[in-house]
A and B are shown apart, each in its own frame.
Chain A
């Protein structure tokens, strides 16, 4: 069944420990940042930022009624559309690890078309390097995980919002916590729990968080010809 995350957004305080821990472990360079009117910093994911705490003010009747925190990262889909599309051009560019379920972008992603890969992602995650054309995103700290360690972001989370473990356990934990949270937040939902390995618990409707917080928010998805072919030819991957 592989590994999974459970991210409890009711416990996130947007301290950005996960965001920095990710940069630290991957030794990614700093972004050139500026004040763009939000504490969310940098403004968006990039080739050198795999994890970003998004912050959204929810305005009701001209008043800010909620400040929503959303630590965004690759969801490591169980059937990743980026891989389906990528495989049409280079089968070695995007790999999926059988044991953990990690969706991994290799250096050969330079052979792919960045816009296609980015467009195929329901969560708007992959980002390409402008110079080399290589595409990057969260790698689930694959090197740590296969050596029995927690991903850097999960280890650093001080509030206990992020959890990592076997996908089955994470799903059970998510359901249990959802029942608990519903007593306070009746609109709480889990984000695409059957399709992804990173299960978010939203305390309110996911569309208030971020445009691509859950896949279904896109409305009826229009496939490009390539994506349609990719879907048609894709193999049913045996799930452990």
Chain B
């Protein structure tokens, strides 16, 4: 919603109408509460879907465009047909998925036999993971089982999926794991 000069004056008038009557008779001195422009008033509003369970509640994400450019509020989308504005405790806390000092924003690596975490670059981490996957797969690959049947599987790697992965990403994951011969493919919701 855009706020013109006229609307702003209207709004200020509403705010100053906040009056307390105290003492004997009516106290005409207005005790104003601070001009109450919504903190999300100048924010950009984006629709999104809650990342948690499969209900798929709609949310409104308010982003502060002028200042930090960060998310300032996430609440239920009243126009969404699934939840009509409501959210459970997890959904109501969505704001913290974005804005939380405990979030990991860099790759952290703990080498074997140490208790120290060190920062590592993405390129190194990705190639290291690929290297380990290849190693484990080559070491545990089974071409034929005891009965001599062709199985082409690897028992050394398991995969745990997540409810927060989208359909298309899941397809890629599934295709990659099957092509490597994984059979232990699980989902977090069943554990």
Task: Verify that A and B bind, or say they do not.
Answer: yes
A237 to B25, CA, bound (A): 9
A144 at the interface (CB under 8 A from B): yes
- B23 near A235: Cβ-Cβ < 8 Å: yes
Residues of B within 8 A of A20 (CB): 89, 92-93
Residues of A within 8 A of B76 (CB): 155-156
A152 at the interface (CB under 8 A from B): yes
Interface readout for A1-27 with B: 1 if CB under 8 Å, 0 if not? 000000000000001111111011100
A24 to B92, CA, bound (A): 7
- A144 near B38: Cβ-Cβ < 8 Å: yes
Residues of A within 8 A of B86 (CB): 17, 155-158
Residues of A within 8 A of B163 (CB): none
- Contact count A vs B, C-beta below 8 Å: 97
A17-B88, A20-B92, A98-B17 in contact; A235/B22 too (CB < 8 A)?
yes
A21 to B85, CA, bound (A): 11
- A97 near B26: Cβ-Cβ < 8 Å: no
- A17 near B87: Cβ-Cβ < 8 Å: yes
A142 to B33, CA, bound (A): 10
A17-B91, A106-B33 in contact; A24/B73 too (CB < 8 A)?
yes
Residues of B within 8 A of A174 (CB): none
Nearest Cβ distance between residue B67 and chain A, in whole angstroms?
A: 15
A95 at the interface (CB under 8 A from B): yes
What residue of chain B has the Cβ atom nearest to residue A53's Cβ? B89
- A92 near B31: Cβ-Cβ < 8 Å: yes
B36 at the interface (CB under 8 A from A): yes
B122 at the interface (CB under 8 A from A): no
- A147 near B75: Cβ-Cβ < 8 Å: no
A24-B73, A87-B22 in contact; A158/B15 too (CB < 8 A)?
no
Interface readout for A125-160 with B: 1 if CB under 8 Å, 0 if not? 000000000000000001110110110100111100
Q: List 18 A-B contacts (CB under 8 A).
A: A21-B75, A21-B87, A23-B93, A91-B22, A92-B31, A97-B33, A98-B17, A98-B19, A98-B21, A142-B33, A143-B36, A143-B37, A146-B15, A147-B36, A147-B41, A155-B85, A155-B86, A156-B91
What residue of chain A has the Cβ atom nearest to residue B95's Cβ? A24
Residues of B within 8 A of A116 (CB): none
A150 to B78, CA, bound (A): 10
Residues of A within 8 A of B14 (CB): 99, 146
Interface readout for B106-119 with A: 1 if CB under 8 Å, 0 if not? 00000000000000
Interface readout for B31-52 with A: 1 if CB under 8 Å, 0 if not? 1010011110100000000000
